Amino acid sequence: MEPLEERETQVAAWLKKIFGDHPIPQYEVNPRTTEILHHLSERNRVRDRDVYLVVEDLKQKASEYESEAKYLQDLLMESVNFSPANLSSTGSRYLNALVDSSVALETKDTSLASFIPAVNDLTSNLFRTKSKSEEIKIELEKLEKNLTATLVLEKCLQEDVKKAELHLSIERAKVDNRRQNMDFLKAKSEEFRFGIKAAEEQLSARGMDASLSHQSLVALSEKLARLKQQTIPLKKKLESYLDLMPNPSLARVKIEEAKRELVSSSCNLFRFF
């Protein structure tokens, strides 16, 4: 690794070469900046070397092309005593067009054997480009259709979302109203329950029979309903006996039995009350 002082010297020489007669901008000299500038100088040196080699190669090719052109020109003069300088303006234009075509088609010369394959290749490339262009066009049309369908679907979804939000707000309002009604009914139920309890306590304090309370009356009503349900099959049974053919002795016996059952049920009912 080169010493720091040597790198600073190389950097200073490189900056002087870059800026020439112009003043070098001030910068802080430290190992970090020296390292960065030295790296840049090395890359610049490598790039200058590559550029020099490319320039020299181009110069050599240009010299070779000039030598070949001079040789062809001398050969043309010797064979047919023809020189491009002797061409008319129209001939010069044709010659320049031929040269430009050769350069555009990248042919090695201007012979027909070079032009035909180059034109064929160019035509093939043109057909491939057209085919690719058609494929891209078809793909773009598909994408446009898909995009249109997507936009329509998005619009429908937005409308559905708006409808859902509206329906949700309405349902939320209904739920809030029902909750308020439920709270009101709960409050009223508690109020009635406390009122009933207070009334029962007042009636009990005044000596009212406990059997006349609301709960007792409800229990008696339910028991009465059950007893009425129990008498229904007995009545039906009695009606079935009434529909039989007259047999005085047997009928009287059955009627008496049914009457006793009915009277027994009625007595139980009266005893209940």
Torsion from C-alpha of 161, 162, 163, 169, nearest 10 degrees: 110
Looking at residue 257, its pLDDT comes to: 73
Question: How many helices and strands in the chain, by DSSP H and E?
Answer: 6, 0
| Position 160, amino acid | D
The percent of residues above 70 in pLDDT, for the chain, comes to: 75
Spatial CB neighbours of 102, under 8 Å, sequence gap ≥ 6: 109, 110, 114, 115
Burial of 179 (0-12, 13-18, 19+ CB in 10 A): exposed
The percent of residues above 90 in pLDDT, for the chain, comes to: 5
Least reliable range by pLDDT among 94-108, 148-162, 198-212, 243-257: 243-257
| Position 17, amino acid | K
Tokens 């329906």 found at: 167
Looking at residue 268, its pLDDT comes to: 52
| Position 192, amino acid | F
Confidence of residue 207 (pLDDT cuts 50, 70, 90): low
User: Which residue has better confidence, 79 or 104?
Assistant: 104
Average pLDDT over residues 109-117: 75
| Position 128, amino acid | R
Looking at residue 189, its pLDDT comes to: 85
User: Which residue has better confidence, 252 or 15?
Assistant: 15
Rounded to whole angstroms, the Cα distance separating 193 from 205 reads 18
The answer to whether residue 263 scores a pLDDT higher than 80 is no
pLDDT digits (tens, 9 = 90+) for 47-89: 888 898 999 988 888 888 778 777 766 766 665 555 566 666 7
Closest among 38, 42, 51, 29 to 11, alpha carbons compared: 38
Rounded to whole angstroms, the Cα distance separating 158 from 197 reads 57
The answer to whether residue 124 scores a pLDDT higher than 80 is yes
Rounded to whole angstroms, the Cα distance separating 252 from 1 reads 142
Query: Is-contact 8 29, C-beta < 8 A?
Result: yes
Average pLDDT over the chain, rounded to whole? Answer: 78
Burial of 11 (0-12, 13-18, 19+ CB in 10 A): buried
Looking at residue 272, its pLDDT comes to: 44
Spatial CB neighbours of 177, under 8 Å, sequence gap ≥ 6: none
Query: Is-contact 114 102, C-beta < 8 A?
Result: yes
User: Which residue has better confidence, 10 or 107?
Assistant: 10
Query: Is-contact 43 11, C-beta < 8 A?
Result: no
